């Protein structure tokens, strides 16, 4: 075989083509690696732990065979759990059922029904009671509509006709010239904002079950008036949260109706949570940094958020130099962990395990109690954080920046100082999960009522959600709180308003209940 002879021009052309092919090969390898990571991410979302996986319908790559495979896998897992569980364990679980008294409030009203034998009723003098048989049931009275008629009698003096007639003053109402009582308005508020029943469903329930017709438009007007009534208490709650010196912030989108558009654009509920104080929601048709002005202007203390850029953008604005000097901005380890969990990389899994150790430390501090969380964290968590940082700095130069693992590394190292702020501040939590949990009820409601009817109704809902969710966070029954609040509102003085936030109301009630218990 004769040797092939190339001219210089042919050799150069072949060399150039070889370089192009090698470059294309490298690009294809990179693209292949990124696609593999995406497939691993989707598989983990489909078949991972329930806390991490998504519904297949939420995915753009929702292949039918993957749905069938998921169903088969879940069925197999269910059968495996049934096989592994011993019969005696099932019996022991049933045997641990709590008695009725342990599952209901101690102050629940009791109605006693006594049933006497027919023989005793016929001749009671022939019988002597020697004991009794008791059985208990938990009963409930369904919602009952009724009219309340208030009569104010008029009187005139018998002995002096020149004296004007007298009549008792009319009691003040929540809504003047309205047939809605405070109890009816409370029922509608709890239905929408606690039980997530849209007003149109409540309209149907009232009509079909009780024969009472109240239009959703009328109920919507009542909710708007209630939000106006409660706006001053809402602002008092804002002041309490700002005064606490620790705010966890987050936001969630909710569509709203805009008459000028042919679709429902996204607006946002911004949530601000202070542990042990309360939650405040603010509604804006925007996600811009300027939405932070009402809460953060003049604020001093801790601010914890996810990685959304509006928070550092607001702090870095030249007009907020005073706040930037007074605010300690901390990041959230739950968001950083999530990115490593989704990366599907062996080293990322190692980092997830190290982050789990950080959470184990927090759990122990919470359960066992700690007088100085700062000192305990410095001693136990700081070495783990140093190990995580060493791994990230080692892996960053040899990891593709656009890969899922590379993005997780860059996200974490960029916010490293903010992620470590919780080491130096006793009050700071390791993550922002508490405020995310506060947002969940609004997400459940959003699935039912789909959107806000107007931009104005968004802020109305934000006010009502703030008070109800604060009650939930503080372990207060919102029915008790709102019932007393709505009864007191018509005659409430301006100076009394700061004392009617859920936290102040609960402390006042506990202080006045203590002497009675003693």
Q: Domain coordinates of the chain in residue numbers?
A: 230-332+432-511, 333-426
| Inter-residue contact 233 to 500 (CB < 8 Å) | yes
Location of structure tokens 């599907």? 344
Q: What is the pLDDT of residue 345?
A: 85
Helix or strand run (H / E) with residue 460 = helix 455-473
- Check residue 153 and report its DSSP letter: -
Burial zone of 188 (CB within 10 Å; 0-12 exposed, 13-18 middle, 19+ buried): buried
Residues 6+ apart with CB under 8 A from 174: 180, 182, 185, 225, 226, 229, 486, 489, 490
Location of structure tokens 């996810």? 306
Distance separating alpha carbons of residues 209 and 212, to the nearest angstrom: 8
Encoded tokens for 314: 């607001």
Q: What is the pLDDT of residue 97?
A: 64
**β-strand pairing of 301-304 with 166-167:** unpaired
Q: What is the pLDDT of residue 87?
A: 46
**CA distances from residue 271 to 189, 249, 439, 446, 463 in whole angstroms, order as listed:** 20, 6, 7, 15, 11
Give pLDDT tens digits along the chain (518 positions): 455 566 666 666 777 677 767 776 766 666 666 666 666 666 665 555 555 554 444 444 344 444 444 454 455 545 554 444 444 444 444 556 666 667 777 778 888 888 888 888 989 888 888 888 888 888 888 788 888 888 888 888 888 888 888 888 888 888 888 889 999 999 999 998 888 888 888 999 999 998 999 998 999 889 999 999 999 999 999 999 999 999 999 988 777 766 666 667 778 888 999 998 999 999 888 888 888 988 999 999 999 998 888 899 999 988 888 888 999 999 999 999 988 888 878 888 899 999 999 999 998 888 887 778 888 898 999 999 999 999 999 988 888 888 888 888 999 999 999 999 999 988 889 988 888 888 777 667 666 666 676 667 788 889 998 999 999 999 999 999 999 999 999 988 889 999 999 999 998 888 877 555 44
Q: Would you say the pTM of this structure is higher than 0.85?
A: no
Q: What is the pLDDT of residue 390?
A: 92
Please give the radius of gyration of the chain, using alpha carbons only, rounded to the nearest integer. Answer: 32
Please state which CATH number belongs to domain 230-332+432-511: 3.30.420.10
Q: What is the pLDDT of residue 330?
A: 93
With H, G, I as helix, E, B as strand and everything else as coil, classify residue 43: helix
Distance separating alpha carbons of residues 424 and 382, to the nearest angstrom: 10
Q: What is the pLDDT of residue 273?
A: 94
Residues 6+ apart with CB under 8 A from 223: 188, 189, 192, 199, 457, 460, 461, 464
Residues 37-67: tens digit of each pLDDT: 666 666 665 555 555 554 444 444 344 444 4
Q: What is the pLDDT of residue 61?
A: 39
| Inter-residue contact 388 to 351 (CB < 8 Å) | yes
φ, ψ at 23 (rounded to 5°): -65, -45
Residue 284, strand partner residues: 268
Helices (H), 281-432: 293-296, 310-316, 321-326, 333-343, 346-368, 373-395, 404-414, 416-419
């Amino acid at each position: 075989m004769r040797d092939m002879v190339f001219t210089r021009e042919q050799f150069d052309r072949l060399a150039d083509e070889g370089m192009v092919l090698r470059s294309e090969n490298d690009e294809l390898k990179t693209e292949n690696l990124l696609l593999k990571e995406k497939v691993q991410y989707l598989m983990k979302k489909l078949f991972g732990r329930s806390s991490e996986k998504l519904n297949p319908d939420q995915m753009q790559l929702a292949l039918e065979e993957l749905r069938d495979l998921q169903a088969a896998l879940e069925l197999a897992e269910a059968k495996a759990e049934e096989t592994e569980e011993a019969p005696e364990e099932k019996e022991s679980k049933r045997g641990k059922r709590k008695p009725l008294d342990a599952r209901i409030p101690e102050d629940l009203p009791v109605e006693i029904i006594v049933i006497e034998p027919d023989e005793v009723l016929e001749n009671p003098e022939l019988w002597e009671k020697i004991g009794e048989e008791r059985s208990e049931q938990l009963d409930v009275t369904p919602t009952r509509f009724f009219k309340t008629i208030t009569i104010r009698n008029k009187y005139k003096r018998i002995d002096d006709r020149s004296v004007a007639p007298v009549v008792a003053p009319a009691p003040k109402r929540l809504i003047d010239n309205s047939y809605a009582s405070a109890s009816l308005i409370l029922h509608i508020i709890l239905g929408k904002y606690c039980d997530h029943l849209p007003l149109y469903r409540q309209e149907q329930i009232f009509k079909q079950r009780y024969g009472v017709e109240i239009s959703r438009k009328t109920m919507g007007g009542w909710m708007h008036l209630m939000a106006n009534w409660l706006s001053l208490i809402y602002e008092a709650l804002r002041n309490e949260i700002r005064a606490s010196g620790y705010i966890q912030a987050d936001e969630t989108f909710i569509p709203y109706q805009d008459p000028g558009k042919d679709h429902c654009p996204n607006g946002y509920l911004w949530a601000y949570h202070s542990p042990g104080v309360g939650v405040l929601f603010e509604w804006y048709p925007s996600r811009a940094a300027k939405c932070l002005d009402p809460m953060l202007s003049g604020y001093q203390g801790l601010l914890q958020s996810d990685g959304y850029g509006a928070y550092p953008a607001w702090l870095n604005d030249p007009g907020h130099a005073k706040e930037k000097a007074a605010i300690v901005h901390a990041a959230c380890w739950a968001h950083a962990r999530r990115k490593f969990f989704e990366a599907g990389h062996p080293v990322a899994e190692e980092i997830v395990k190290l982050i789990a150790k950080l959470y184990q430390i927090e759990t122990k501090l919470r359960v066992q109690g700690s007088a100085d969380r700062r000192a305990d964290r410095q001693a136990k968590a700081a070495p783990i954080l140093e190990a995580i940082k060493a791994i990230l700095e080692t892996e960053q130069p040899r990891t593709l920046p656009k890969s899922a693992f590379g993005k997780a590394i860059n996200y974490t190292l960029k916010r490293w100082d903010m992620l470590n702020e919780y080491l130096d501040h006793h009050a700071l939590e390791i993550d922002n999960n508490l405020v995310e949990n506060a947002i969940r009820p609004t997400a459940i409601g959003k699935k039912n009522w789909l959107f806000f009817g107007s931009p104005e109704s968004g802020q109305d809902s934000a006010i009502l959600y703030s008070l109800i969710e604060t009650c939930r966070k503080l372990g207060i029954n919102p029915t008790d709180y709102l019932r007393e609040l709505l009864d007191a509102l018509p005659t409430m003085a301006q100076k009394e308003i700061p004392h009617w936030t859920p936290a102040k109301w609960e402390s006042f009630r506990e202080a006045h209940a203590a002497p009675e218990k003693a």
